[in-house]
Amino acid sequence: MPKFDKLTRREFLAAASVTAVAAAAGERTGPGPAPLVAMPNRSAPLLELSAVQAVRSMAAGEMSAERYAQALLARCAEQKVLNAFITLEPDRVLEDARAADRRRAAGAALGALHGLPIPVKDSLNTRDYPTTAGTPALRRFRPQQNAPLVEALVNAGAIVLGKTNLHELSYGWTSNNLAFGAVRNPYDPARIPGGSSGGTAAAVASRMAPLGVAEDTEGSIRVPAALCGIAGFRPTTGRYSTEGAVPISSLFDQAGPHARTVADLALFDSVAAGDHRAVAPASLKGVRLAVARGYFFAGLDAQVERLAEAALAKLRGAGAEIVEADVPELEQLIDLITDQVQNHDVRIELPRYLEAYHAGVRFEDVVAQASADIRATFERYVLPGGSDFVPEATYRAAVDVHLPKLKRIFRDYFARTGAAAMVFPATMVTAPRIGEDVELRVRGQSVRFDVAVARNIAPGSTAGLPGLVLPAGIADDGLPVALEFDGPAASDRALLALGLAVEGVLGPIAPPRAR
């Protein structure tokens, strides 16, 4: 680990100035009150900067990219207990930061992400780092080129801040990775951060970076964002390239960002989608938000329900109209589509990926060398002969009949309600303890783990809708609770504008305690 120089007076003042100006303008600088006082580390002002603020400061010459990278790397070292990274190479990051500083000094045109270190989920191809997908067989796999999404970020001036830990092969919601170690929740290291993008969420929540790359097939952006108290955005399926990403199903797979502010999500979206339309806070006065209680609010943990209802009351107080309307046939259709498609497609698409990117291992090798929990899952659900193997007729019905029907129902739902978005608690519970991944007790009732964490997020990703997760409060157990806002397909920039307004109404939550 390199030596990290002390924060210069000029850089301290620049960072403090950016934070103060943003606060005066009503811009959220991250969850947590008075960050300059709350954190004793002299790099604290830099750690609390949003991505928008950090890029602005570096582009203006108020802070060097090298100094900013040093501050984030020092934080990564301090928070190593969270096990957020599989691969982290400080010397490479610092050299890339120096190169960014040289470009600015030479008067070169600077990209929208100039000098910004961004952690990348270790399921997206990176030329300079291994791409393990969190599984032993790919431990030494080094792709020849960046995934197009990563390349777009780098071309905009970003620096890859290592590869983040994840649920092995993205096949789960805990990020309790038996091969590379469990990722831990910054609010309570005994608890899961959610999955599968738990490493990125933990890194962003604990101030290792303001913005990170995650990926979502069935909740893998949104569950970690919810359980770690940050913002997460799953765009409309297909909005960003998923080429060069370790796949489950191309029908559902979608990369997206984790951040602590909606403005940073919008910045990421503008680069990833090439969509530079302005995003400004939408007025909530008269905005219709749909609530489907029959599905999304049933059986919630009492604390989750309390904070969700309090958040809805705040939105009503800001002028939003809450429209109560259930989604017909939702539970039945999710049961007929979601798992069937993923468990069918992974056995076809993962071998294609391994061959296309010259991984040097076969699909059979990946399964054989996988950790015991993943191997058992594949043997039961994915491989021929398994007790829950998906027959071709079942798959074809899911894709050709039930999925089009689900998408049509959501189109009709938004048209009928006039809602800009649906709103609901992202998960039924706060973050469970590591190892509590089979059954949970919710209000005295036994609830399957996958239901508690994934029931509410499954419809949006199955239907391909854009989904935005925002913190709603802190429960009595000290853990975050979040709301999800799902908009109509292709309403991504409008949903982000709505999120800017909602963020201002809900306000910040307390950050994780420094450890």
Give the pLDDT score at 515: 65
Report the pLDDT value the prediction gives residue 224, as an integer from 0 to 100: 99
Arithmetic mean of pLDDT, 407-434: 98
DSSP 57-81: HHHTTSS-HHHHHHHHHHHHHHTGG
Give the confidence band of 445 by pLDDT, cuts at 50, 70, 90. Answer: very high
Band the pLDDT of 403: cuts 50, 70, 90. Answer: very high
What pLDDT score was predicted for residue 182?
98
Alpha-carbon distance 328 to 138, whole Å? 43
Q: pLDDT at position 430, please? A: 98
Residue 438 contacts residue 376 (beta carbons within 8 Å): no
Give catalytic residue positions: 121, 196, 220
Average pLDDT over residues 454-481: 98
Residue 39 pLDDT level (bands cut at 50, 70, 90): very low
Q: How far apart (Å, rounded) are the C-alpha atoms in residues 210 and 425?
A: 24
44 — pLDDT class (breaks 50, 70, 90): confident
CA 509 to CA 507: how far, in whole Å?
Answer: 7
The full set of domains in the chain, from first to last, is 48-330+396-506 (3.90.1300.10)
* CA–CA gap between residue 144 and residue 165 (Å, rounded): 21
Report the distance separating Cα 427 and Cα 194, nearest Å: 10
Could you tell me the pLDDT band of residue 327, with boundaries at 50, 70 and 90? Answer: very high
What does the pLDDT look like over 6-37, one tens digit per residue? 344 444 344 444 433 333 323 332 333 222 22
The residue with greater pLDDT, 3 or 286, is 286
**Mean pLDDT for the chain overall:** 93
In sequence order, which residues have a C-beta less than 8 Å from that of residue 515 and are 6 or more positions away?
78, 79, 81, 186, 189
The pLDDT tens digits of the residues spanning 147-185 come to: 999 999 999 999 999 999 999 999 999 999 999 999 999
pLDDT attached to residue 38: 29
For residue 229, is pLDDT > 90? Answer: yes
Each residue's pLDDT tens digit, 338-359: 999 999 999 999 999 999 999 9
For residue 508, give the amino acid letter: P
